[in-house]
């Protein structure tokens, strides 16, 4: 068990000492957790805030990608309450708020969830095993790959999925950004801080990004657009040297030199823990009802692991709140106690797949 240890992700100095003292005051972790939250993006931390405020002492297990996708975003302008905020800072604020109410975070990666419960058994890559009365899955999604020759070989050698992480290495270089949505344009704009030229390659003749982002990208003198075009291979020995492109209108295939390829063509749900255990849709997202309940009572889901439509930090946060509230209701029903405003038990509403 954790024996009251505090798993602080970002605080330092006096704040860290205070949090360790607070953790000691809370005492050791219970033999059976009320709720374990798997994932540390906006959905996970929002669920942690609400379950902590309900005095459930949630345990949040971060996963390998601490902070989720939003932590890799350079500038967030559409999260309520902030005109503009850096993604990592937004996650850090969520973490501090959750921990202030009594949530605890463990930097580890869940490798297995035994759905035969409650209690459910959660095992981690660090060799820890926990029992939990309920689980909130907030594992998010990961970048979709192009799936073309050279991509895997040259990942980390000019192929990237994170402008925040790697943009600095492309100062005064030529870069291609693949995609036409919000993420592609946001990262292209960020990369203009470093690159000499940024070409946005999109398979259509219209962008899917919001109007404001389109206007900014089109006004930026460093950005060029390559329409109706797809990447067929990424070429180079020890680094990216050229990209093979195919014009979808003319069918012409040609090579063009570039120093880097940043890929933003969508995401795939991180569903490995749930394959064969929970109901998934045809795209691999967890199926939930409107109350964030999965096909197994006591297992809830929030964020992009179940959201195939909206995929926004703000909607993920709201889904995390809903999952937390429903988990609290589920625990009240499980323990045969009342929940304020509850009009029925968990068992009375069936999952609408």
Residues carrying an active site annotation: 162, 165-166
Q: Is 171 exposed, middle or buried (0-12, 13-18, 19+ CB in 10 A)?
A: exposed
Q: Is 234 exposed, middle or buried (0-12, 13-18, 19+ CB in 10 A)?
A: buried
CB 151 within 8 A of CB 136: no
Distance from C-alpha of 132 to C-alpha of 351, rounded to nearest angstrom: 22
Long-range contacts of residues 237-245, Cβ cutoff 8 Å, at least 24 apart: 238/157, 239/154, 239/157, 239/158, 240/154, 240/157, 240/158, 240/159, 243/176, 245/201
SS (H, E, C) 163-231: HHHHHHHHCCCEEEEECCCHHHHHHHHHHCCCCCEEEEECCCCCCCCCHHHHHHHHHCCCEEEECCEEE
CB 301 within 8 A of CB 289: no
CB 329 within 8 A of CB 346: yes
Mode of pairing for the β-strands spanning 129-137 and 299-301:
parallel
3 state DSSP class of 346 = helix
What one-character-per-residue DSSP string does 266-311 give? -EEE--GGGTTTS-B-TTSPBP--TT-B-SSTTEEE-GGGT-SS--
Dihedral sign (CA 250, 254, 256, 260): positive
3 state DSSP class of 86 = coil
């Amino acid at each position: 068990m954790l024996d009251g240890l505090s798993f602080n992700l970002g605080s330092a100095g006096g704040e860290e000492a205070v949090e360790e003292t607070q953790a000691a005051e809370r005492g050791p972790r219970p033999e059976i957790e009320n709720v374990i939250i798997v994932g540390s993006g906006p959905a996970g931390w929002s669920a942690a805030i609400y379950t902590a405020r309900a005095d459930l002492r949630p345990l949040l297990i971060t996963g390998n990608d601490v902070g989720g996708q939003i932590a890799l975003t350079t500038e967030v302008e559409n999260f309520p309450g902030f005109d503009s905020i850096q993604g990592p800072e937004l996650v850090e604020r969520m973490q501090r708020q959750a921990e202030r109410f009594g949530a605890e975070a463990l930097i580890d990666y869940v490798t297995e969830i035994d759905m035969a419960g409650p209690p459910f058994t959660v095992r981690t890559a660090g060799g820890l095993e926990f029992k939990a009365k309920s689980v909130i899955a907030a594992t998010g999604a990961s970048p979709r790959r192009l799936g073309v020759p050279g991509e895997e070989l040259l990942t980390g050698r000019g192929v990237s999925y994170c402008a925040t992480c790697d943009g600095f290495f492309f100062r005064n270089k030529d870069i291609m950004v693949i995609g036409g949505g919000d993420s592609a344009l946001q990262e292209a704009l960020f990369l203009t801080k470093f690159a000499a030229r940024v070409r946005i390659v999109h398979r259509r003749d219209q962008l899917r990004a919001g109007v404001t982002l389109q206007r900014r990208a089109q006004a930026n003198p460093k950005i060029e657009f390559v329409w109706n075009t797809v990447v067929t291979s990424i070429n180079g020995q020890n680094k990216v040297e050229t990209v093979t492109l195919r014009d979808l209108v003319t069918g012409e295939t040609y090579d063009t030199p570039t120093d880097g390829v940043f890929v933003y063509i969508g995401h795939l749900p991180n569903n490995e823990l749930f394959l064969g255990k929970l109901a998934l849709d045809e795209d691999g997202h967890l199926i939930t009802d409107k109350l964030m309940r999965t096909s197994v009572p006591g297992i809830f889901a929030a964020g992009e692991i179940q959201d195939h439509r909206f995929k926004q930090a703000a909607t993920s946060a709201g889904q995390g709140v809903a999952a937390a509230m429903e988990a609290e209701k589920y625990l009240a029903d499980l323990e045969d106690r009342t929940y304020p405003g509850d009009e029925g038990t968990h068992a009375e509403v069936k999952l609408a797949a």
